[in-house]
């Protein structure tokens, strides 16, 4: 699957997951990056009659069979008519899974960029319906212009929910020094990822507090990597704050070194390790902002996941209207 298409799909998912106040900036970032890198989408097509005549009985066709078409077989994209004036959107999909959520159709894998520019020539085309069977994005003509003019920038989003549910290049685990699993989010991540995660973790020989190590995500198919970081147990020492800041900074650095464009954090140390939530939220924001400021030319979408309501309240007290 095309990595840029996957990132668009992830950003759209997280946008819905974040609820009605979620920012579309990660979606704009992913689309813009995709347009710059020949993002491929699947476009359902109407099978032309000439092609059907040529194939004969489709049930006899085997993978790899080739045909020579002797008649013109113009291919037509499927349309979704949106009003009685015949205005339409063209459905496109970021993955086969998204396409197979609905009615089965033939499809073409196609660069999205030429389609985006072609919209201007197709008077009745209102734009594209990205993943119309699932969490869809109506990419209207106006929104296409916004995305084209948009200058990608890093973004921080606070969402209510589990880090394991986020669709991201990397999700972060609040681990312990042994890196062999445990309770809280660590236990939940190991259960979801399956036993291969533990096998890979054994090869890492632990991790120091404040540092981070990376593995694959195995059965957590909505992430590519898991970044394991070890927060401090809270004793109220200045050193605790430094170590917690290091967790965020080093996780971001590792995500960056592995080419990730999105990373989702739980509230490191705020559960079993007892860090006061308000202070921890402040450290998470300050440390991540510092990393983003030091990497201004790199676009990273950062999600802070609040598993408990009190975590969300702590972030809201820091960054939202009172």
- CA dist 113 and 315 (Å) reads 38
Nearer to ligand AR6, 116 or 281 (CB): 281
Give 48 or 206: the residue with its C-beta nearer to ligand AR6.
Answer: 206
Instruction: Give yes or no for a contact between 306 and 161, defined as CB atoms under 8 angstroms apart.
Output: yes
Contact 60, 74 (CB under 8 A): no
Residue number, 39 or 164, with CB nearest to ligand AR6: 164
- Shortest Cβ 126–ligand AR6 spacing (Å): 40
Closer to ligand AR6 by Cβ: residue 35 or 265: 265
Strand arrangement, sheet containing 106-111: 76-77, 40-46, 106-111
The answer to whether 91 touches 44, Cβ cutoff 8 Å, is: yes
Q: By CB under 6 A, name the binding residues for ligand AR6.
A: 162-164, 174-176, 182-186, 188, 231, 266-273, 307-308, 311
Strands 80-81 and 76-77, sheet pairing: unpaired
CA 25 to chain centroid, in Å, comes to 12
Q: How far is the CB of 163 from ligand AR6 (least distance, A)?
A: 6
CB of 200: closest distance to ligand AR6 in angstroms? 16
Burial of 316 (0-12, 13-18, 19+ CB in 10 A): middle
- Of 26 and 231, nearer to ligand AR6 (C-beta) is 231
Cβ burial of 8 (10 Å; 0-12, 13-18, 19+) is buried
- Residue 94 Cβ, how far from ligand AR6 at the closest point, in Å? 26
CA distance 304 to 96: 29
d(CA 167, CA 25): 15
In the bound complex, what is the minimum distance in angstroms from residue 193's beta carbon to ligand AR6? 13
Question: Is the CB of 230 or the CB of 299 nearer to ligand AR6?
Answer: 230
Closest distance to ligand AR6 from the beta carbon of 303 (Å): 12
- Does residue 156 sit in helix, strand or coil? strand
Tokens at 247, concatenated: 């967790």
For ligand AR6, give the closer residue by CB, 107 or 173. 173
Sorted by sequence, the CB contacts under 8 Å of residue 322 that are 6+ apart come out as: none
User: Least CB distance from residue 189 to ligand AR6, whole Å?
Assistant: 8
CA distance 86 to 291: 49
């Amino acid at each position: 699957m095309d990595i840029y298409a996957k990132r668009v799909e992830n950003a759209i998912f997280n946008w819905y997951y974040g609820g009605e106040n979620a920012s579309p900036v990660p979606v704009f970032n992913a689309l813009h990056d995709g347009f710059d890198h020949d993002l491929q989408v699947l476009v359902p097509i109407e099978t032309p009659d000439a092609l059907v005549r040529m194939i004969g009985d489709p049930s006899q066709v085997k993978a790899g069979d080739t045909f020579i078409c002797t008649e013109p077989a113009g291919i037509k994209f499927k349309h979704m008519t949106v009003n009685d004036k015949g205005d339409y959107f063209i459905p496109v999909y970021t993955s086969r899974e998204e396409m197979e959520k609905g009615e089965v159709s033939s499809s073409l894998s196609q660069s999205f960029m030429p389609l985006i520019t072609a919209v201007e020539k197709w008077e009745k085309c209102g734009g594209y319906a990205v993943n119309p069977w699932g969490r869809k994005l109506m990419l209207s003509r106006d929104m296409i212009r916004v995305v084209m003019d948009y200058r990608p920038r890093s973004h921080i989003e606070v969402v209510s929910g589990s880090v394991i549910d986020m669709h991201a290049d990397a999700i972060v685990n609040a681990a312990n020094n042994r890196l062999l699993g445990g309770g809280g989010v660590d236990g939940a991540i190991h259960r979801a990822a399956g036993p291969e995660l533990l096998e890979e973790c054994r090869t890492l020989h632990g991790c120091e507090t404040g540092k981070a190590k990376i593995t694959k995500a195995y059965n957590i198919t909505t992430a590519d990597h898991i970044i394991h970081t070890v927060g401090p147990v809270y004793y109220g020492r200045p050193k605790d704050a430094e170590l917690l800041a290091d967790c965020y900074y080093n996780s971001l650095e590792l995500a960056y070194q592995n080419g990730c464009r999105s990373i989702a954090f739980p509230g490191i140390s705020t559960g079993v390790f007892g860090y006061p939530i308000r202070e921890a939220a402040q450290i998470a924001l300050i440390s991540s902002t510092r990393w983003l400021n030091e990497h201004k030319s790199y676009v990273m979408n950062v999600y802070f996941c609040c598993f408990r309501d009190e975590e969300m309240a702590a972030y809201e007290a820091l960054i939202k209207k009172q």
